[in-house]
Amino acid sequence: MKTDNIEIVLYPVTEEKLSRKQRDYILRIIENVTLNEIDSYIKNRPSFDTILSLCEQTNEQERNEIFNLAKQLCDSEYITYKQLNTLSDIGNALNIDSSETGLNFDLFSDDERMKYEYNRLLINYSIITSAISFVPFSFFKDILFTTPLQILMVNNISTLYSFDLDGVKFVKLLGGAAGLNVISRLLSNVLSLVLPFRWIVRASISFASTYAVGVLTKAYIDSNGEMGEDNLREMFENAYNEGKAIFDEFKDYILKNKDKIVEDFKESFHS
């Protein structure tokens, strides 16, 4: 592949700090690229105008290959919202049709990209809090550790939708209006279980409660902050039950990968 085309391919994924896995993946799928060249590209990352100019110089045969490689690099870990937006810009510059992206949503729709990112945040935070619950803490410590992650999720969702919402105050509101009655009702049952069933139930509760907080955050934003406590309480119960059902879909994955999920979270949190 031509050097100019490699510059286009690397542009979306380098919107974020590259993980070790992504660097290894780049070396594996792009021939004749060295680690030093990747570091040099990141240090002297071209402007978007330069990338647009390079896109204009590509021929029709090259464009799909460039786009697919760029998407593949972003997908090597998980594609972030910034990477997704840049991939959309690159796709537009390369005249890629929405049906040719290989995605199950319209990459070139702002609303569709936001919806994708919301769902990613919702599921990822639910999985992370669920995996963390397997760490041998007491149930009360699980709650104390889960809450900051839920606050972080609320802040990320509100930032995504450009809505002024304080995550600490909102999670506290949900705790009083909706969530604590559900959690406390389940607590005695969890503590009476023997391992490993106790961990499974803890993981389910962590997943479902985080999922419910995310769903209510989006609903609160959609209502422009005008949802009352009664509505929040009813919606929390429904979203919590929905989260429990969705946990069953991810349970085996979480059980198998719980240690890696926690380690990956620690790495991303400290990077």
The structural domains of the chain, with segments of one domain joined by +, span 3-108, 112-270
What percent of the chain stands above pLDDT 90?
58
Measured CA to CA in angstroms, residue 260 lies from 133, 177, 255 at distances of 14, 34, 10
**More confident: 193 or 24:** 24
What is the pLDDT averaged over residues 37-59? 95
Which of 216, 207, 163 is closest to 183 using CA atoms? 207
Mean pLDDT of the chain: 86
Are the beta carbons of 38 and 80 closer than 8 angstroms?
no
Distance CA(164)–CA(162), nearest Å, equals: 7
What percent of the chain stands above pLDDT 70?
86
Is the pLDDT score of 157 beyond 90?
yes
Confidence of residue 20 (pLDDT cuts 50, 70, 90): confident
- What pLDDT, in 10s, does the model give residues 83-127? 999 999 999 999 999 999 999 999 999 999 999 999 999 999 999
Is the pLDDT score of 169 beyond 70?
yes
Confidence of residue 179 (pLDDT cuts 50, 70, 90): low
What's the confidence (pLDDT) of residue 257?
Answer: 92
Question: Which position has the token pair 């959609």?
Answer: 222
What's the confidence (pLDDT) of residue 178?
Answer: 58
DSSP secondary structure string for all residues of 77-98: S---HHHHHHHHHHHHHTT--G
Distance CA(65)–CA(30), nearest Å, equals: 12
Distance CA(150)–CA(156), nearest Å, equals: 10
Q: Which of 36-50, 163-177, 204-218 has the lowest mean pLDDT?
A: 163-177
What is the pLDDT averaged over residues 214-243? 91
